[in-house]
Amino acid sequence: MDNSVEKSHRIRFWLEDPRVRGVVENVADGVIGIDALGYVELFNRAAERLFGYEPGEVMGRNVKMLMPPEYGERHDGFIAHYIATGERRIIGTGREVTGRRKDGTTFPMYLSVGEVTVAGFRGFIGLVHDLTAQKAAEQAISNAREFLQSIIDSMPSALIGVDHEGRITHWNRAAAEDRGLAPGDAVGRAFPELFPFIGLGLADIAGAIRQQYPIKKERVPVPAGGTAHYVDVLLYPLMHDAAGAVVRIDDVTERVRIEEMMVQTEKMMSVGGLAAGMAHEINNPLGILAQGCQNLLRRVSSEVPENLRVAAEFGLDLDEVRAYLRERGFFRFLDGMQEATARATRIVADMLTYSRRSASSFEPVRLNALVDTVLRLADHDYDLKKDFDFRRIAVHRESVGASDEVYCDALAIEQVVLNLLRNAAQAMAGSPATRAPEITLLIADEGDEVRLEVADNGPGMTEEVMRRLFEPFFTTKPVGVGTGLGLSVAYFIVTVQHRGSLEARSAPGQGARFIVRLPRKGSPYGTSGARGR
């Protein structure tokens, strides 16, 4: 049909008019005119530059050469479809499409198409705007945004952005993981709703933003199953506009634990210093009590000849004297005094351990052999037998790895293991009769360290007890049974004297597990230079 159209009505004819040509050639965007079959009638200079063609090179050829092949192949069909049905896809509007340069490379462009119908001629005029620079800018912005997001996502801290009403606007991966939500689930929700345990209310947040002051909260306990967790929380108002704030939440559980341990160790060191100074002063009166009790008992015995002589002098019968004393509870009181003296003696001796840092007794020790010794001791332990026959407990032994040898003070480590066994036995004495008492002793090679575990299936411990476990004079045993020093002495021996670690894992009803780690090349306190650690 186009063939029948007068030449003067065709687009390319218009360009013969220098005024039209001047306008079209100088439009900054590409201008492309085609006829109803898709043949190029108009291709201005900007279009040539865009697509990389020489002047005149595109004229009269099918416009599909300017498109990626997979689209270009269907272009003739698109025009035919439009002409047949009038159904518009791009005509009259515009959209983003891909252009294809002469060298085959492609670029993003914005194409708007208008229809030309003049006296039987039908064609289309396209205006092409290069989007390369804009796309690059968008990409750069998007990259920057992603980069920033990945920076805040890489932070181990939970970061939460809030608006001036305390509603969450952003949060990072750590924050989402902490709350167990998808990254998108927080936006728009109130901060206190998702982080109630922090104790930052909407009014607090709004106030801090309005007045531009930061809020700092330290060691905030986090409700979590099992062990206690702590976080530090910092809220900073945003700097440039006062429309919001960023909240940083850091898990400081480990730091809190280490600080608690240091406090613990310090406490013990001061107990140690005190004990060394007081030992003499306390031991003397204890000695007086101890030997006084023993002398009192002996002085009513008929086996000492002098007693019989003096009794006779007073006309007394020693058997009658003893009967009287027994009747009046005399011997019970003496027993009580002896027992109390022995207990006080143990306390002073335990406290003295804290002041002992001697390296003289360090030697290579095989832990399995050491445990054998301790188990033999436990079988005959008087303290243990009072409440519980150790031989009734099923003891499982396990040894993992090549070597169980550590450089340590064998006597001190024996004391530690015996203490752990004694605690386990005493704890299990309170277990229900339905559960057979069991202790598992594990020794494991861990390279530079050897791990020794003592686990029982007793009643376990509450978190409160766990927290104070290694504190001097803390005990859960009845008055007179424990000195409250056993575990803290064990802790001191392991961590200070041997530079190892001692930790406990337990929960009510779950039994208890004590884990001792001893460095293979132990370096006793105060001799760190000597063994190079």
Interface contacts to other proteins, rule CB under 8 A: 276, 279-284, 286-292, 294-295, 298-299, 304, 306-307, 338, 341-342, 345, 352, 355-356, 358
Report DSSP state, residue 42: E
Nearer to other proteins, 19 or 280 (CB): 280
Count of helix runs (H) and strand runs (E) in the chain:
18, 17
Regarding beta strands 394-400 and 438-446, do their DSSP bridges make them parallel or antiparallel, or are they unpaired?
Answer: parallel
Residue 108 CA to residue 99 CA, distance in Å, equals 6
Nearer to other proteins, 159 or 496 (CB): 496
Q: How far is the CB of 282 from other proteins (least distance, A)?
A: 7
Residue 73 CA to residue 470 CA, distance in Å, equals 81
Nearer to other proteins, 199 or 526 (CB): 526
Nearer to other proteins, 228 or 308 (CB): 308
Report DSSP state, residue 462: -
Q: How far is the CB of 354 from other proteins (least distance, A)?
A: 11
How far are the Cα atoms of 290, 409, 415 from residue 275, in angstroms, in the given order? 20, 21, 19
Q: Name the helix (H) or strand (E) containing 399.
A: strand 394-400
Q: How far is the CB of 286 from other proteins (least distance, A)?
A: 4
Residue 388 CA to residue 481 CA, distance in Å, equals 13
SS (H, E, C) 163-215: ECCCEEEEECHHHHHHHCCCHHHCCCCEHHHHCHHHCCCHHHHHHHHHHCCCE
Q: Tokens for 266, please give them.
A: 């310090």
Contact 79, 90 (CB under 8 A): no
Nearer to other proteins, 341 or 423 (CB): 341
Phi, psi of 110 (to 5 degrees): -100, 125
Residue 473 CA to residue 256 CA, distance in Å, equals 22
Nearer to other proteins, 291 or 373 (CB): 291
Contact 198, 249 (CB under 8 A): yes
Q: How far is the CB of 478 from other proteins (least distance, A)?
A: 23
Nearest Cα residue to 514 out of 447, 431, 423: 423
Nearer to other proteins, 253 or 307 (CB): 307
Query: What is the crossing angle of helices 330-353 and 318-327, to 10°?
Result: 70
Q: How far is the CB of 378 from other proteins (least distance, A)?
A: 22
Q: How far is the CB of 307 from other proteins (least distance, A)?
A: 8
- The residues pairing with 456 across neighbouring beta strands, listed in sequence order, are 439, 512
Residue 14 CA to residue 118 CA, distance in Å, equals 12
Nearer to other proteins, 231 or 275 (CB): 275
3-state secondary structure of 519: strand
Q: List all residues 6 or more positions away from 93 whose beta carbon is below 8 Å from its beta carbon.
A: 112, 113
Q: List all residues 6 or more positions away from 140 whose beta carbon is below 8 Å from its beta carbon.
A: none
Concatenating the DSSP letter of every residue in 93-107 gives SEEEEEEE-TTS-EE
User: In angstroms, how far is the first alpha carbon of the chain from the final one?
Assistant: 96
Q: How far is the CB of 527 from other proteins (least distance, A)?
A: 15
Nearer to other proteins, 91 or 308 (CB): 308
Q: How far is the CB of 305 from other proteins (least distance, A)?
A: 8
Q: Tokens for 165, please give them.
A: 């009403």
Nearer to other proteins, 139 or 270 (CB): 270
Q: How far is the CB of 341 from other proteins (least distance, A)?
A: 6
Nearer to other proteins, 301 or 528 (CB): 301
Q: List all residues 6 or more positions away from 382 whose beta carbon is below 8 Å from its beta carbon.
A: none
**Residue 363, number of CB atoms within 10 A of its CB:** 11
Contact 61, 39 (CB under 8 A): yes
Give, in degrees to the nearest 5, the angle at Cα 306 between 302 and 310: 90
Nearer to other proteins, 105 or 360 (CB): 360
Q: How far is the CB of 205 from other proteins (least distance, A)?
A: 58
Nearer to other proteins, 207 or 277 (CB): 277
